[in-house]
Amino acid sequence: MSEQQRWKPLAPAPPAPSSGFFPGLSKSISRRKNVARACSACRQRKAKCTGRIPCNLCRENNTDCSIDQDTDERRKITQKRKAESLEQDRDLLLRLVKVLRDENPKAVELLNLIRSNASLDETRRSIDDRLDSLPYPSTERPSLNRLRDEIDVAHGNTPNTRRKMMNINRLWDVTLFKVPAKPWTSLTSDDDLVSHLLSLWFTWQQQGLHCIDRDLLVRDMQSADLNSNFCSPFLVNILLAEACFYSDYPETFAVYPDISSKGMHFYHEAKSLLEREEGRITVPTVQGLGSMYFCSSAIGKGRLGWMYMCQAAAGAQELSSSKRQLLSEAGEASQDMELAIDVAVGGIFSSTTIGSLALQKPPPMSRKHRTELLPVTHDNDDRDMWIPYPRHSGAVPAHTHCVFNSLTSLTEIVRDAANLLFGEEKPPRVDLERAIDGFYSRVCRWHEQLPSCLNSETNPTPGILDLQLRYHILIMTIFGFLKRPADSEPSGLTSANHAQERCVLSAREVTWLIETFRSRWRLYLLPVSFTQHTTISLFTLLEALDDNDNRTAFVQLCIVSRSFARRWAVAKGMLRLVQLSAKQMGVDLPPEASTLFESVESKVWRPGSSLGEAGWGG
């Protein structure tokens, strides 16, 4: 068979589309084209986009159609954009380093703002008020508009964004003590996490609640015995809830990474366990109620916090009245039981009494209550050490019993003042001035007789700083009743001016004490009790901003309060109250403070939120 006969003949090819046989077809078959960028609406719907503005889908749905230039992921454009971003970041870093090297006070304020975890957007808004007055040579003065643009480029990461990867600090973290998670909490079996949180609580949070003896609690917790005298699941869970505010571990969030959910899983567990106590009064229960007061108030549940405060006060009084029976039942552990009761009752007495001062209510504990002072000896200073965990450098003597006794003595003055000032009977102006002068003499005498180991300049531990802060808060509170002169009293104006000066001096001392803390440790480690001190000082300085030193102190405290507001609802409410008061008074706020308040109004405070519920006790 020939080669030509082996293959079958093929049919002729169809005519081209241009042929007259297919008049309805175009000359070329159209092919689907891939668009480089889809509009934002189509990207969100995951729909096909024509790439034009407006695209067909947006035109049909009558929606806005726009293309985000930053979503263009073509390789060359992406690399170019990254290179430009890195160059801008580098230039911004060099400029800020040059600014912060200067000793100008404006540079210090900018540094403090950055240290307070302010977002880059807040920092950008503050640039106008700060950098323009810095001592740049005229040829090197940065363009504010360009600097704002550079910060906007770097705005991708906010300070509250938590790393989803393992925190590198966990690799070398050495906790102050090792305690088991079980059987104390059902929410985690991670002993390291529980040890980490408890170490944080005793380092930072205990300074506002001196009602727990650390050694007794840790010893009983390590025993894992649910029948122990000085530890309970209720107490452990509420301590863990408070400690979560001082940690950035992902496990501290009930809903990661919602910062408002920090510690809420432990808090709700503690509330559930408290209900199972069914009114039993034990040392751990009374101590836990004290922490429930602090934690509830901090998260904005002020009225609930006041209820827990009253329950803690009632429980402490019952412990005190039944002390002899409890010691008899403790047997060989009577010495430990006596120490635990004295610490619990004294700590609750101090925290509830000073808390009532902020709430402007009579203290919930009896006027006849007397707190037992603790034995003081400096022979065991090597055991009674305060370590700034998670760091282990800079350990100093804590002087725990000295702080406790001095705080108890101060609280007795606070109790007498609060009962007079917030009681049902309001004394005449003359009697009020005489009583306040008496309280002031007592508190000055108390301050003069403080042991040398409690000097805040030579030994500025959080406990000692808090002690000094409470001294100044009492002064501002009692003299606050004399700042408004009485019309019928000729000497009223003189006493009012003296009261105003005394309050302002104490407010500036509060600023110095908090700045002392900030110069040594991270701002987010400030105890929640410091929010009360900061707020009272802000209201005091708000009436005296015509003085430059007062304005500087006011700005510094605003930065601290803004940091508080990121963590605690109570601080958000208090900062908002300061802002509203300034508007009502027609006060011209410093530009730096105005920027922070604008951020609070737009980001932190939600319209419709209850100011009263956000306070300490409502």
pLDDT band for position 161 (cuts 50, 70, 90): very low
Asked if the model's pLDDT at residue 400 lies above 60, the reply is yes
Asked if the model's pLDDT at residue 106 lies above 90, the reply is no
- 163, two tokens: 């790393």
Q: Coil, strand, or helix at residue 253?
A: strand
Decide which of 162 and 167 is more confident.
167
Decide which of 593 and 289 is more confident.
289
Note whether 242 and 295 are within 8 A (CB). yes
Note whether 459 and 386 are within 8 A (CB). no
Asked if the model's pLDDT at residue 614 lies above 90, the reply is no
Note whether 304 and 570 are within 8 A (CB). no
Asked if the model's pLDDT at residue 154 lies above 60, the reply is no
pLDDT for 105 equals 59
pLDDT tens digits along 26-35:
444 455 556 6
pLDDT for 74 equals 55
pLDDT band for position 372 (cuts 50, 70, 90): confident
DSSP 600: I
Asked if the model's pLDDT at residue 156 lies above 50, the reply is no
The whole-angstrom separation of Cα 442 and Cα 446 is: 6
pLDDT tens digits along 183-220:
999 999 999 999 999 999 999 998 778 899 999 999 99
Note whether 339 and 213 are within 8 A (CB). yes
Choice among 44-48, 165-169, 549-553 with the minimum mean pLDDT: 165-169
DSSP 208: G
The whole-angstrom separation of Cα 589 and Cα 123 is: 18
Residue 590 makes CB contacts below 8 A (sequence gap 6+) with 545, 551, 554, 555
Overall residue count recorded for the chain in this entry:
618
Q: Coil, strand, or helix at residue 262?
A: strand
Note whether 218 and 178 are within 8 A (CB). no
pLDDT for 58 equals 85
What is the number of other CB atoms lying within 10 angstroms of the CB of residue 213? 22
Average pLDDT of the residues in 348-363: 90
Asked if the model's pLDDT at residue 300 lies above 60, the reply is yes
The whole-angstrom separation of Cα 234 and Cα 272 is: 8
C-alpha to C-alpha distances, 287 to 14, 265, 298, 337, 340, nearest whole angstrom = 94, 20, 17, 14, 10
Asked if the model's pLDDT at residue 159 lies above 50, the reply is no
Q: Coil, strand, or helix at residue 326?
A: helix
Task: Give the count of alpha carbons within 13 A of 245, CB side only.
Answer: 30
Note whether 596 and 558 are within 8 A (CB). yes
* Cα–chain center distance at 309: 21
The whole-angstrom separation of Cα 27 and Cα 438 is: 104
Decide which of 492 and 349 is more confident.
349
pLDDT for 279 equals 82
Asked if the model's pLDDT at residue 175 lies above 50, the reply is yes
Average pLDDT of the residues in 509-513: 96
The whole-angstrom separation of Cα 549 and Cα 180 is: 50
pLDDT tens digits along 251-296:
999 988 888 899 999 999 999 999 998 888 999 999 999 999 999 9
pLDDT for 455 equals 92
Query: Taking the complete model, does pTM exceed 0.85, yes or no?
Result: no
pLDDT for 618 equals 37
pLDDT tens digits along 230-241:
999 999 999 999
The whole-angstrom separation of Cα 464 and Cα 293 is: 22
What are 262's strand-pairing partners?
A: 253
**Mean pLDDT of all residues belonging to the chain:** 81
pLDDT for 69 equals 65
The DSSP-derived string for 439-504 is HHHHHHHHHHTS-GGG-TTT---HHHHHHHHHHHHHHHHHHGGGSS--TT-TTHHHHHHHHHHHHH
pLDDT tens digits along 304-315:
999 999 999 999
Asked if the model's pLDDT at residue 545 lies above 80, the reply is yes
The whole-angstrom separation of Cα 350 and Cα 373 is: 12
Decide which of 399 and 62 is more confident.
399
Query: By C-alpha distance, which of 209, 234, 211, 236 is closest to 222?
Result: 236
pLDDT tens digits along 402-458:
999 999 999 999 999 999 999 888 889 889 999 999 999 999 999 999 999 999 888
Instruction: Kindly provide the residue ranges of all beta strands, DSSP E only, lying in 6-83, ordered along the sequence.
Output: none
Asked if the model's pLDDT at residue 560 lies above 70, the reply is yes
